[in-house]
A and B are shown apart, each in its own frame.
Chain A
Amino acid sequence: DQQVKQNSPSLSVQEGRISILNCDYTNSMFDYFLWYKKYPAEGPTFLISISSIKDKNEDGRFTVFLNKSAKHLSLHIVPSQPGDSAVYFCAASLSYFGNEKLTFGTGTRLTIIP
């Protein structure tokens, strides 16, 4: 049962434009969400997170939006740069559950076209 879904396996965006990566979840008890970026042969790198009490969090070029009613979050990258080409994973956690394990989506491969 895939509780966190990234339905787009890949996405190509022109350099300088906006990249929008999407993530859906099924468990309404998830209350903390994160985005990770992964380059080949490296471990995932934490990018940005959002608590369920917020609907937006911004950090530089990266903004995460959370729509709890739709059980949907998105990551916006503006402007997109060639170094943003990587696989992006969204992840979710149940903070009330007493542990910090993350449930990951299957990832979206983002390619920035120069």
Chain B
Amino acid sequence: DSGVTQTPKHLITATGQRVTLRCSPRSGDLSVYWYQQSLDQGLQFLIQYYNGEERAKGNILERFSAQQFPDLHSELNLSSLELGDSALYFCASSPRVGTYEQYFGPGTRLTVT
């Protein structure tokens, strides 16, 4: 158990809908990262937050957005969902800037039908 929690574990929704994925980092970790893993692909970096502020952005679609709240939990919002958005979404956390070892949650499996 990494100490990172993600809810829900599974999500099935229809095209065009909007969903919110939630992540609670390890106790004391200030950085939160979101990654997407599509079928047979490696993990693709989406976005990083550090202590409430956006720190880095990857190839995140404009339909996707994220935020980190004062209690350090984070939410990833996916809107106007398409079939191609079906994937595993992982959240990871690390304690501070300059730390490269990230600790991953169990992921949320999103299925868009």
Contact = CB atoms under 8 A, between A and B. Distances in A.
Contacts of A67: none
Contact of A43 (B31, B90, B101): B90
B contact face: mostly helix, strand, loop, or mixed: loop
Interface stretch (B12-20, B66-74, B78-86, B92-100): B92-100
Contact of A100 (B35, B58, B90, B97): B97
A-side interface size class: 20 to 34
Contacts of B45: 101-103
B86 to A, nearest CB: 16
Contacts of B4: 43
Contact of A46 (B41, B103, B105, B107): B103
B48 A105 contact: no
Contacts, number: 66
A72 B56 CA distance: 26
Interface of B: 2, 4, 31, 33, 35, 40-45, 48, 55-56, 58, 90, 92, 94, 97-107
Given A49-B100, A107-B42, 12 more contacts: A45-B2, A49-B101, A99-B55, A100-B31, A100-B98, A100-B99, A100-B100, A102-B43, A104-B42, A104-B43, A105-B42, A106-B41
Interface of A: 4, 32, 34, 36, 41-46, 49, 89, 91, 93, 95, 98-107
25 contacts: A42-B107, A43-B4, A43-B90, A43-B92, A45-B104, A46-B103, A49-B100, A89-B43, A93-B100, A98-B56, A99-B55, A100-B31, A100-B98, A100-B102, A101-B45, A101-B58, A102-B43, A102-B100, A103-B45, A104-B35, A104-B42, A105-B42, A106-B41, A106-B42, A107-B42
